[in-house]
């Protein structure tokens, strides 16, 4: 199997250039950013955040985790992502998800929340065509146009890698149909292994060559020498982000504890098939730098 890749999430829209340079200097393979139009607190836009990061770095790959695809006209995403790929020298990876956990942002964007899956599937078809063809004509349920060309086209050929995020079977089918990689979140190692098996089966049923498909994982980390304190901080951070009680489940879905605890748990995910591990922080904001230092120096070297 190819070497495991590691990425780190931008923790805030503030201070992106410094954080991006630090992540690149520490040897991370990816710098990632999520997004919402509205959420329970301040949140970035992935394409804007990664554009800022692109200007501050030279080598690290840039991934949206994720673009909430149903909230955009597909042409807009195709254009923005193509320009970012060109501007960054071919470093952009487009992770996508369907959202839905915050219905108000769908209302604000004029998109029925119950159409998010079908809109996303159609958008992926549109975007891949716009990235790889000229004078595109498309007539779908939500998108209709003729003679459209995105210029500049992406630097990466045939197009920037597409990663699908999610937790359930429709997302797995979406990954098997449209994507180059899979980045589930809030998963156990057992769930990850089962999802990878299903995606490969779906891909095979569709006659797709899955040999280069990249299984990944998006996971939150809380690294402190006191294991109970680490779990408490993870539950508190995630509870604040998602406005729900994580006290009973944070330990199930996060890397938490001291570096040895995190190494053991991370090995379970890698043994389950994760080839790309993207780490976000579920610790106190003032401890992010120290958490990243511990992960970089005492957790990841075993897997590189």
State both tokens at 152: 């500049």
CATH of the domain at 65: 3.20.20.30
183 part of a folded domain = yes
Segment 34-62, tens digit of pLDDT: 999 999 999 999 999 999 999 999 999 99
Whether the model clears a pTM of 0.85, i.e. scores above it, the answer is: yes
Same domain, 216 and 76: no
Per-residue model confidence (pLDDT) at position 2: 67
Q: At what angle do helices 259-271 and 189-205 cross, to 10 degrees?
A: 20
Per-residue model confidence (pLDDT) at position 255: 97
Do the Cβ atoms of 283 and 291 come closer than 8 Å? yes
Same domain, 123 and 200: no
Same domain, 210 and 107: no
Residue 304 pLDDT class (50, 70, 90 cuts): confident
Segment 134-147, tens digit of pLDDT: 999 999 999 999 99
Same domain, 100 and 35: yes
Segment 290-302, tens digit of pLDDT: 999 999 999 999 9
If residue 13 lies in a helix (H) or strand (E), which one and from where to where? none
* Residue 59: domain span: 1-164
| Residues ≥6 apart with Cβ < 8 Å to 104 | 38
Segment 196-252, tens digit of pLDDT: 999 999 999 999 999 999 999 999 999 999 999 999 999 999 999 999 999 999 999
| Residues ≥6 apart with Cβ < 8 Å to 192 | 184, 215, 217, 269, 272, 273, 274
106 part of a folded domain = yes
| Residues ≥6 apart with Cβ < 8 Å to 8 | 23, 26, 28, 30, 31, 32, 278, 279, 280, 292
Do the Cβ atoms of 37 and 68 come closer than 8 Å? yes
């Amino acid at each position: 199997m190819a070497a495991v890749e590691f990425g780190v999430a931008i923790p805030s829209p503030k201070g992106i250039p410094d954080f991006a340079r630090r992540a690149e200097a520490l040897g991370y393979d990816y710098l990632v950013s999520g997004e919402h139009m509205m959420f329970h607190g301040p949140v970035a836009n992935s394409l804007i955040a990664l554009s800022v990061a692109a200007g501050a770095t030279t080598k690290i790959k840039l991934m949206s985790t994720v673009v909430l695809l149903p909230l955009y006209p597909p042409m807009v995403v195709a254009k923005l992502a193509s320009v970012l790929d060109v501007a960054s020298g071919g470093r952009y990876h487009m992770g996508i998800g369907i959202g839905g956990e915050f219905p108000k942002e769908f209302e604000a964007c004029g998109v029925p929340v119950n159409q998010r899956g079908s809109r996303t599937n159609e958008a992926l078809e549109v975007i891949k065509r716009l990235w790889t063809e000229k004078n595109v004509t498309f007539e779908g349920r939500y998108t209709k146009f003729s003679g459209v060309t995105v210029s500049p086209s992406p630097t990466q050929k045939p197009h920037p890698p597409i990663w699908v995020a999610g937790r359930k079977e429709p997302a797995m089918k979406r990954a098997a149909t449209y994507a180059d990689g899979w980045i589930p979140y809030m998963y156990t190692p057992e769930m990850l292994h089962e999802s990878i098996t299903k995606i490969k089966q779906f891909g095979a049923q569709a006659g797709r060559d899955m040999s280069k498909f990249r299984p990944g994982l998006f996971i939150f980390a809380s690294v402190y020498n006191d294991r109970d304190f680490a779990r408490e901080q993870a539950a508190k951070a995630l509870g604040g982000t998602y406005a729900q009680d994580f006290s009973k489940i944070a330990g199930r879905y996060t890397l938490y504890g001291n570096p040895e605890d995190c190494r053991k748990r991370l090995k379970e995910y890698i043994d389950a098939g994760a080839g790309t591990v993207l780490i976000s922080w579920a610790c106190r904001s003032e401890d992010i730098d120290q958490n990243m230092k511990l992960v970089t120096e005492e957790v990841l070297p075993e897997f590189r």
